[in-house]
Structure 1
Amino acid sequence: MNLILSIETAVSVCSVALHGEKGLIGLLELHQENVHAQKLMPAIKSLLDQAGLESGDLAAVAVSEGPGSYTGLRIGVSTAKGIAYAHQLPLIAVGTLDALASQVLPMVDHGAFVIPMIDARRMEVYSKVFDHEMEEKGGLKPVIIEEGSYGEYLEKGKVYFCGDGSTKVRGLIDHPNARFLSLSNSAASVGNLAMKKYAQKDFVDIAYFEPNYLKEFRVLKSKKNPLAL
C-alpha cells in the first residue's frame, strides 16, 4: 500500500494526516497557537503509532508549501524534508490555498467560485480564485480587503470564501452571492491532493525545495537607542 504522511503547519493549526490508496487513514490536529516546534514531531509519532506504522513504511511525505506563517512553514517543510531524506522518500509539495479550496468543492454549485484566504496582516490576505471545477481563475497574490473586493466574481454567481482570512471579508463585503464557510486548513485535504500528485510522480527536489512565503520575511529593528533609558 502506498502510504503518504501529510503535514499542514502554514497557519495556527498543527495538523498531520496519513493517507492510503483508499483515502484517509488517520488524522491528528492541534488547534493551538505557536505549538508547531514542540508538537509536530510528537504528533507524527503518535499518528504512526496508532496505525502500527513507522516512518520507513511510508511511500512519500507531503507538506503544505504556503503561503502562510513564516515560522510554521519553515518548521513543517524542514520536518518533511528530514523524514523524506532519512528514509529516501519522495517529497510532495501542495499549495496551502489549493488544499483549503478543495474542501469546498462538494458544496459548490455550477458557476460558483471558491476563494480561499489566509490571514496576512492588518487588512491583507493571501488568496486565490477557483471555479467550481477547481480551475484557477485568479492567481496567488496578497490582497488588501476593502469594500468592493472580488466584485467581478460576486456579480457572476455565488462566491464561497473560506479560511482564517475570510473573517476580514465578512465585515466588508455585503452581497447576496457571498457565502462564508468556517473551514480550517487541514493535513487531510493536503493528503487528498498529494495522493493525486504521487500517482503522477509530481515530486519536488528535497535539497532545493523552499516554502512559498510569498513575501520576504523581514526582522524589523527598533529605532530606539538601546543605551537610552
Structure 2
Amino acid sequence: MALFLHIDTAVDYASVCISDNEKIIAYAENAATTAHASWIGNAIRELFTSNQLSMNRLDAVAVSNGPGSYTGLRIGLATAKGLCFALNKPLICLSTLEIMANAVKEAPEDLICPAIDARRMEIYTAVYKKDLTILRPPEALVVYEHSFEDLLANHRVLFTGNAVKKLQATITHSNAVFSNIRYSAADMPYLTIKHYSENQFADLSYAEPFYLKAVHFNKN
C-alpha cells in the first residue's frame, strides 16, 4: 500500500483526494474560487479524520503545479510544501495540463489538447499523444479560427479544459472535438505513482509554481 495526498487548486474548482496507489479512498472539492485558501486546510484534515488515517502514513504529497491561476497555484504549492516539511515527506509537482489530458486519455481521438482559460482570447495549452507523450510543450497563445489548423488537417483532436467554450466558439474544423469533462485531483494518482516510482521529486526549498507567463505583482 502506498498512500498519497493529491492537491489541486490550479483552476476554478479546488479538490483534494487521498489514494491507495490509484484507488481513491477519499475526495473533497470546493467550487468557490475565492475561498480555496480558507477551505483547503480544513478539507485535508477532515478527509484524514473521517477516514481514520494518519498523515504520517503518507508516502508523498502531489500538487497540480500549473499553469493556472497565479493565486490558486501559490495556495496549492504552499499547502503541499508545508505538509511535506512538517511530515518529512517527498513532494511531487505535476503539470496541470498533463492531469487534464490524463482525465480524457481513454477517448478515441488521436491527440489531446488541454486548454486553460487565461482571460480574453488567451489560453494556456499543450498537445499530447494518447500515451501522454508531449507533442507540443506548454505555451500561452491567443486563439483564433485557424489555431491548431496544422494538427487538425490530419488528426482528430480532443480539446478539454475550462477554455473549451472559448475554443468551441472559435475553431470550426470538422476534426475538432470538444470535451466537457472536468478534471480534478481524482485524475492525479496515475501520474503521481509514475513520478513516485521514478523518484521524480521536487526540491522542497526551491520548488515554485509553473506560471508559464511572467508574474507582475502590483507594488502599490
* 1:220 positional shift: 4.9
Task: Determine if contact 2:21/2:189 at 8 Å carries over to the other structure.
Answer: no
Task: Determine if contact 1:8/1:14 at 8 Å carries over to the other structure.
Answer: yes
Q: How does 1:168-187 map to 2 (within 5 A)?
A: 168-187=166-185
Larger mean Cα displacement after TM superposition, 67-76 or 52-61: 52-61
Task: Look up the match of 2:52.
Answer: 52
1:211 corresponds to 2:199: no
Task: Look up the match of 1:146.
Answer: 144
Task: Look up the match of 1:226.
Answer: none
1:10 corresponds to 2:4: no
User: What TM-score do the two structures reach when normalised by structure 1?
Assistant: 0.92
Give distance in 2, aligned partners of 1:22 and 1:193. 9
Task: Determine if contact 2:4/2:21 at 8 Å carries over to the other structure.
Answer: no
Gaps of 5+ in 2: none
Q: How does 1:72-221 map to 2 (within 5 A)?
A: 72-109=72-109, 112-220=110-218
Give percent identity, aligned residues only: 38
User: What TM-score do the two structures reach when normalised by structure 2?
Assistant: 0.95
Task: Look up the match of 1:26.
Answer: 26
- 1:48-73 deviations in Å (ceiling 9; x for gaps): 12321121121110001100011000
Q: If you compute each CA radius of gyration, which structure gives the higher value, 1 or 2?
A: 1
Aligned letter for 1:38? S
- 1:69-114 deviations in Å (ceiling 9; x for gaps): 11000010000000000010000011000000001111134xx110
* 1:37 positional shift: 0.8
* Superposition CA RMSD, Å: 1.4
Give distance in 2, aligned partners of 1:59 and 1:92. 11
